[in-house]
Amino acid sequence: MANALLKPQFLIVCGLSAALVSCSGEGAGNSGATRFVSIQPIQVCDDLGIFCADLATFEEATRKIWAQANLDVSFLAPNRLNASRFLSIDNQDEFAELSFAGGAGAFGRSPLSTRTSGPISMWFVESIFPSEGLETLGLGWIDQNGVLIDDDILTFNNGIGRLDTVAHEIGHNLGLTHEGLGAGGVNNLMTDGGFRNSPSSLDDINPDGARIDQLTDRQIDEARNSGFAGTAPASSADSAAMEIPTTLPPLSAAPDALPWVPPPKVTPVTDLALLPEAAFAATAQAPEPIPNGPAMTLLTAVLLAGYLRWQPRGR
């Protein structure tokens, strides 16, 4: 059902969007054969592995949402990352480090994951950008590998949980933005979390009930053409859970490490990410695909998907 916290001005947005893209009814077809997306959940814990963020995969809702695209989302056995400093992700650089630094399999990532293919890495943490004042429930790179989920999605909506955050962030990795390809309506999966209706149960999710979390045909095409969407199910051979050592080796010590380079003079993506959502969206519509491999410059042209912002902390 519609979110009770929706502000009146957001309804105007919906009205406009309805005229342009239809707030209901898109996304039914043209999907063809099934594609497969694999998720590597990574539970972040403190250094001793005692205190951990909650795993909140909302697997059923995620699978139902992406079934609209005939896209099968499966979750590998979770890995653990014991590293206190990542329990709270304070800035974009920390997220980039988790996502891209180190060699294959670093930071709990699947060894098969690359920036543009393989299982999508999804870290579950205690908080994301806590100093921002707005609660960021999820974060994902556009067209590249890496999702952060704040385990507070479990307590959202009086404990029902924010059922569609995981599916939304996966959409960013699959190349979707908040306003492109028909997003923007209150019932579209990829609309900014502050403007989007939130399902209260599986029965609200398109094509059922309130038909929340729809995808347009164009979004479906884009997602299915992503490098993360394979034509065959992922092998289960790599799905055995791992526990990552308490102390991570120095990044420079990993022989096949993609060196972590602080972004001193590249495009100031941090600024982009910290812009208000509306301002950011205007500049983030054309993410460039980035080739995979150690030679590329970290963070070059990387665009960070807008946040799922919600109410201020301490609500």
Q: Residue numbers of the site for Zn ion (CB under 5 A)? A: 305-306
Closer of 118 and 138 to Zn ion (Cβ) = 138
Closer of 96 and 101 to Zn ion (Cβ) = 96
Closer of 244 and 303 to Zn ion (Cβ) = 303
- In the complex, the smallest distance separating the C-beta of residue 240 from Zn ion, rounded to whole angstroms, is 31
- In the complex, the smallest distance separating the C-beta of residue 287 from Zn ion, rounded to whole angstroms, is 13
CB 82 within 8 A of CB 45: yes
Residue that is written with structure tokens 């921002």 in the block: 132
Q: How far apart, in whole angstroms, are the C-alpha atoms of residue 13 and residue 115? A: 34
- In the complex, the smallest distance separating the C-beta of residue 277 from Zn ion, rounded to whole angstroms, is 9
CA-CA-CA-CA torsion sign (202, 206, 211, 212): positive
- In the complex, the smallest distance separating the C-beta of residue 143 from Zn ion, rounded to whole angstroms, is 13
Q: How far apart, in whole angstroms, are the C-alpha atoms of residue 182 and residue 140? A: 19
Please give the full DSSP string across 198-250, using - where no structure is assigned.
--SSGGGBTTSTT-BSB--HHHHHHHHTSTT-BSSPPPGGG-S--EE-SSPPP
- In the complex, the smallest distance separating the C-beta of residue 305 from Zn ion, rounded to whole angstroms, is 5
Closer of 192 and 238 to Zn ion (Cβ) = 192
- In the complex, the smallest distance separating the C-beta of residue 194 from Zn ion, rounded to whole angstroms, is 10
Closer of 83 and 137 to Zn ion (Cβ) = 137
3-state SS string for 67-129: HCCCEEEEECCCEEEECHHHCEECCHHHHHHHHHCECCCHHHCCCCCCCCCCCEEEEEECEEC
CB 165 within 8 A of CB 308: yes
Any idea what DSSP says for residue 260? -
Closer of 105 and 306 to Zn ion (Cβ) = 306
Closer of 42 and 305 to Zn ion (Cβ) = 305
- In the complex, the smallest distance separating the C-beta of residue 95 from Zn ion, rounded to whole angstroms, is 14
CB 38 within 8 A of CB 74: yes
Closer of 52 and 304 to Zn ion (Cβ) = 304
- In the complex, the smallest distance separating the C-beta of residue 139 from Zn ion, rounded to whole angstroms, is 8
14 Cβ neighbours under 8 A, 6+ residues apart: 23, 185, 186, 195
- Please classify residue 284 by burial: count the beta carbons closer than 10 Å to its beta carbon, then call 0-12 exposed, 13-18 middle and 19+ buried: buried
Smallest CA-to-CA distance from 217 within 14, 39, 21 is with 21
